[in-house]
A and B are shown apart, each in its own frame.
Chain A
Amino acid sequence: MGLIINNNKASVFEKSAVTDWKNKSILIVDDFRDFRFIIRNMLQSFGAVNIDQAANGESALAKIAEKKYDIILCDYNLGDGKDGQQVLEEGKFRGFINLTSIFIMITAENTTSMVLGAVEYLPDDYLVKPLTHDIVRTRIDKVLQKKLKFAAVLNALDRKAYQEAMDLCEQGIMANPTNPYDFMKIQAETLVAMGRYDEARALYEDVLKQRTLAWALMGMGKIHFFTEEYAKAKDVFQSVIEKNKMLMEAYDWLAKAFVKLNMTQDAQQTLLAATKLSPKVVVRQRALGEVAYKNSDFDVATRSFKSAITVGKNSCFKSPSEYVGLAKVLVDTKSSDEALKIVGDAKKEFKDNPDALAQSSAVESSAYLALGDKEKASRAAEEGSRYCTDAAGGVSLQTAMDLAKAHFSLGSVDAGTKLMQDIIRNNHEDEQLMQDVGKIFKDANLQDAGTKLISATSREMVLLNNKGVELVNDGKFEDAIAYFEKAAVSLSSNKTINSNTAHAIILYMQKNGKTDDLVKKAQFYLDRVRSIDPHYKRYLAFLHLLEQLQN
């Protein structure tokens, strides 16, 4: 007996072994011991010998941190503690699950009803219980084959070698005429990463002509967003949600579009709907808290920040923001005692993070001030400033602003002004931010001083930059590099200065040939810009130049 396929006698079991099972390392993660044994036996019957097991998310991550597994089979439900999605996210975020490993999520529910999480953290595939011997083998075979197929292009993307990725996509599309869609998706995403929005748009439109696919619509929406057409973006994301209720990414982007359109109530409603469907995502709960705070909806803000804190305990995505956010709400709602408790928790949770400590101290100061204890408030503000100096590379924007506000509230004009000046120097081209800075000065009754500081410092930065640009234009690349690098030391968050530094290095290499050290240096400055604004036009342009140089 056997199965006849397309008039050829073929037994499914006689199919030539696709996967080299004996050389694959496999991790089975499930809280149900009998189930782990069943899977293990199945895998052994395929020929696998290198099989480890974990009974919960925490031990799974500990194992993944130590050993690189080719295949991870992980149940979505893992009892208390982290769930399968959290294992996947943390594993990927911390670099334990790399490009060649496959992660298959085992679920009891039909995947159609599952929330589809963030794109970067989707499993390679799903297996729905109950599992059968043959389905497990066939599915794993297919996933491994697919991974192999896309290995080269994913590797290129990982190295930010976008042109290389484009070429590989082109090859992939031509090699798969009936099923080019997966390569087209990656190609479009690469074009977006390169800032080539018109070409990406054309590609998405091509796909949409054939079928209304969610990922193509999402791509279009994101392009609208990056080209600042926020109303169009909103429309697209809304249409995605209509047909794809479980696509969480759509809610997150819709909320972002609403925020840009100053429709913060709608943003809040969107995030509320999303957190109802998928409550265990720290980033989303935090975003909801922040939007609710902007809307002065303290109830929702409190609940969301608290959720973010609770979920964060099991997640690598926790941050001081939710603690600080909650503390601020508590101060505003006259619960400064409780705010101080939260600040204490934050300082414990993030004791090795000077930025977090600085921000916590800033809120601590405002809490003490609200309680009428000016002395403790002063001490907290000073402590905050000390942490600022400890923080290598400076503190985050929000931290600096919070601390400046705290100083101003205590009448420490100099300390506050110094922080504000640093903010201006690092963001002199960000109009919205300069307005926010102006407002802080205004609220502290320092409007005139603030206006003067902003214009003087901005002018200083423009002159600083122009001087370096002049050197570049005069072809004095070595001098330009030295000049910009010196400036960049105290301006690690200024995207103009940092990208110009990289540019000077690239120009030098274009003239005098590349060296590994200089390439690394250019990458260092470009990475800085990337962490500030990955869509900055100059960053994308210089990244492209650097890639060309290396080929």
Chain B
Amino acid sequence: MDFSTLLASTVHDMKNSIGLLNNALDGMASECARSECKSASQLSYLRYEANRLNGNLLQLLTLYKIEKSSISLNIANHNVFDFLEENIVGNVPLLESKGINLELECQEDLVWFFDRELLSGIVNNILNNAYKYAGDKMKISASVENAGLAIRIEDNGKGYPESLTSAPPGPDRFVNFRSGSTGLGLYFASLIAAMHKNGDREGSIAISNGGALNGGCFSIFLP
């Protein structure tokens, strides 16, 4: 059996486990909410970690395929509002449980061209991270700027560390094995953004502090 097949079936198995895990956690969380039990925040935290697990799995598998050149982006026209709404919806319960308010600002008829699954992975990763870093407010916005789609995810938390905001451009800047997190998510986002090409332009991401809510600001630009 070749490694690709082994990998695919193991991932399938892991996805099933994560699915069951999530489902059980969600069930316990709603029961908990009903009976006002003290484990509620603990359950949310577990959900957050399960999401991280899933995100890492997705990114790892995708990066493996990119490495083996067995991946092509599936670029199609998508309604950006629907896309963001769907991704936010998946994360609302978790973020609400921590008292984080979300705001979405995007025209309902905004349409752009991108790989829905991969961009979903990126957006979900950032939204999930917000559980730990956001403060109590988040703003997700999308608009057309410089003939490209700009999606911004901002919060009123402590912001990104300087090592991330001051690094020179390129995906490799995000990988730092010395810090607690490998920066896999941002590396992934940067790579996927760059794979979204239109003519001679390619996509990119930007990390900064400040923005509309004076906290962390993640943005992705797709030409």
A147 to nearest B CB, angstroms?
15
Given A138-B85, A142-B82, are A111 and B104 also a contact pair (CB < 8 Å)? no
Given A130-B18, A132-B90, A139-B86, are A109 and B101 also a contact pair (CB < 8 Å)? no
Q: Measured between alpha carbons, how far is A530 from B97 in the docked complex, in Å?
A: 61
Report whether over half of chain A's contact residues are helix, strand or loop; otherwise say mixed.
Answer: mixed
Q: Are A3 and B88 in contact (CB under 8 A)?
A: yes
Closest Cβ neighbor of B139 among chain A residues: A4
A-B contact count (CB 8 A): 125
Q: Measured between alpha carbons, how far is A170 from B113 in the docked complex, in Å?
A: 22
Given A3-B92, A139-B86, are A113 and B71 also a contact pair (CB < 8 Å)? yes
- Measured between beta carbons, the chain B residues less than 8 angstroms from A489 are none
- Measured between beta carbons, the chain B residues less than 8 angstroms from A131 are 19
Say whether A246 faces chain B, with CB atoms less than 8 Å apart.
yes
Q: Measured between alpha carbons, how far is A1 from B96 in the docked complex, in Å?
A: 7
Q: Are A130 and B19 in contact (CB under 8 A)?
A: yes
Partner of A132, one of B20, B22, B111: B22
- Measured between beta carbons, the chain B residues less than 8 angstroms from A179 are 77, 79, 109, 111
Q: Are B86 and A113 in contact (CB under 8 A)?
A: no
Say whether A182 faces chain B, with CB atoms less than 8 Å apart.
yes
**Cβ < 8 Å to B, chain A residues 389-412:** none
The interface stretch among A31-39, A57-65, A321-329, A450-458 is: A31-39
B54 to nearest A CB, angstroms?
6
Given A108-B12, A139-B86, A182-B77, are A113 and B62 also a contact pair (CB < 8 Å)? yes
Q: Measured between alpha carbons, how far is A34 from B20 in the docked complex, in Å?
A: 8
Partner of A12, one of B11, B69, B92, B115: B92
Q: Measured between alpha carbons, how far is A135 from B12 in the docked complex, in Å?
A: 19
Q: Measured between alpha carbons, how far is A126 from B120 in the docked complex, in Å?
A: 13
Q: Are B76 and A111 in contact (CB under 8 A)?
A: no
- Measured between beta carbons, the chain B residues less than 8 angstroms from A551 are none
Given A112-B74, A178-B109, are A211 and B198 also a contact pair (CB < 8 Å)? yes
Q: Are A12 and B22 in contact (CB under 8 A)?
A: no
**Could you mark each residue 55-91 of chain B with 1 if its beta carbon is under 8 Å from any beta carbon of chain A, else 0?**
0001001100100011111111101001001101110
Q: Are A38 and B77 in contact (CB under 8 A)?
A: no
Closest Cβ neighbor of B104 among chain A residues: A5
Q: Are B70 and A4 in contact (CB under 8 A)?
A: no
**Cβ < 8 Å to B, chain A residues 173-189:** 178-179, 181-182
**Could you mark each residue 19-38 of chain A with 1 if its beta carbon is under 8 Å from any beta carbon of chain B, else 0?**
00000000000001011001
Say whether B118 faces chain A, with CB atoms less than 8 Å apart.
yes
Say whether B23 faces chain A, with CB atoms less than 8 Å apart.
yes
Q: Are B111 and A178 in contact (CB under 8 A)?
A: yes
B101 to nearest A CB, angstroms?
7
Q: Measured between alpha carbons, how far is A214 from B117 in the docked complex, in Å?
A: 17
Q: Measured between alpha carbons, how far is A204 from B54 in the docked complex, in Å?
A: 39
24 contacts between A and B (CB under 8 A): A1-B96, A3-B92, A4-B103, A5-B104, A6-B105, A6-B108, A12-B88, A38-B19, A38-B20, A108-B16, A109-B11, A109-B12, A109-B61, A110-B58, A110-B117, A113-B61, A113-B71, A129-B15, A130-B15, A131-B19, A142-B82, A211-B198, A212-B198, A245-B71
List B residues at the A interface (Cβ < 8 Å).
Answer: 8, 11-12, 15-16, 18-20, 22-23, 26, 54, 58, 61-62, 65, 69-77, 79, 82, 85-86, 88-90, 92-93, 96, 99, 101-111, 113, 115, 117-118, 121, 198
Top 7 A-B pairs ranked by shortest CB distance?
Answer: A130-B19, A108-B12, A108-B15, A134-B89, A179-B111, A178-B109, A4-B103
